């Protein structure tokens, strides 16, 4: 599995960095049996330097550090990523070449991150905000199966909603959920899905 680059554009306390890795692992191990023998932290690379790009994941516990990307915009991070990882022909570390994750000031407040895809036709990048549980999952999906503009991921992109693990499940189940042993419909959510479908 390819490495996923993670950029911090705000000072991240170590508890937030560790929560990000732990929530991602928790979600993937609950969703996919083949992740039970995988250490997800081995697949995250928190970029701590612009000179020496790491070639392995960030083992827990992750320590706080001074990010070289503090105060940068998503576009500035995207430009650095494109030049140093996507386009660098001599760069031989196996990174996901067209997507990365950003932890920002909001990540500290609500445990959400930005998933950024550069594999889009009509813009330099597109991004969606997701909780720590689903950010890395979206990166895997967009690397292996689909683009950020397709299916349920595209719904969150177009609607501007934050993708939480609960809303992701609701989207995959077409607005259906079980309550008290009965199947119910979240009609408001289903209407939103129809409104923002391709």
Class of domain 4-146: alpha beta
Q: Count CA atoms closer than 13 A to 63's CA, side-chain side.
A: 3
Residues 6+ apart with CB under 8 A from 84: 50, 53, 91
Predicted confidence (pLDDT) per residue in 139-150, tens digit: 888 877 678 888
Predicted confidence (pLDDT) per residue in 17-45, tens digit: 999 999 998 888 888 777 777 777 778 88
104-122 burial by CB neighbour count: b if 16+ within 10 A, else e? beebbeebbbbbbbbbeee
Domain ranges of the chain: 4-146
CA dihedral 62, 65, 67, 71 (to 10 degrees): 110
pTM assigned to the model: 0.89
Other C-beta atoms closer than 10 Å to the C-beta of 74 total 17
């Amino acid at each position: 599995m390819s490495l996923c680059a993670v950029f911090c554009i705000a000072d991240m306390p170590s508890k937030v960095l560790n929560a990000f890795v732990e929530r991602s692992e928790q979600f993937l191990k609950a969703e996919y049996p083949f992740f039970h023998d995988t250490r997800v932290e081995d697949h995250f690379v928190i970029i701590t330097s612009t000179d020496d790009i790491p070639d392995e994941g960030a083992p827990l516990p992750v320590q706080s550090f001074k990010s070289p990307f503090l105060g940068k915009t998503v576009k500035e991070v995207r430009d650095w990523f494109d030049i140093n990882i996507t386009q660098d022909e001599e760069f031989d570390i196996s990174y996901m070449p067209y997507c990365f994750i950003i932890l920002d000031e909001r990540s500290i407040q609500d445990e959400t991150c930005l998933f950024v895809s550069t594999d889009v036709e009509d813009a330099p990048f597109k991004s969606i905000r997701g909780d720590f549980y689903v950010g890395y999952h979206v990166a895997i999906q967009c690397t292996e199966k689909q683009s950020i503009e397709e299916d349920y991921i595209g719904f969150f992109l177009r609607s501007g909603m934050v993708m939480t693990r609960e809303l992701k499940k609701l989207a995959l189940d077409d607005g259906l959920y079980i309550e008290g042993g009965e199947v119910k419909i979240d009609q408001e959510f289903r209407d939103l899905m129809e409104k923002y479908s391709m």
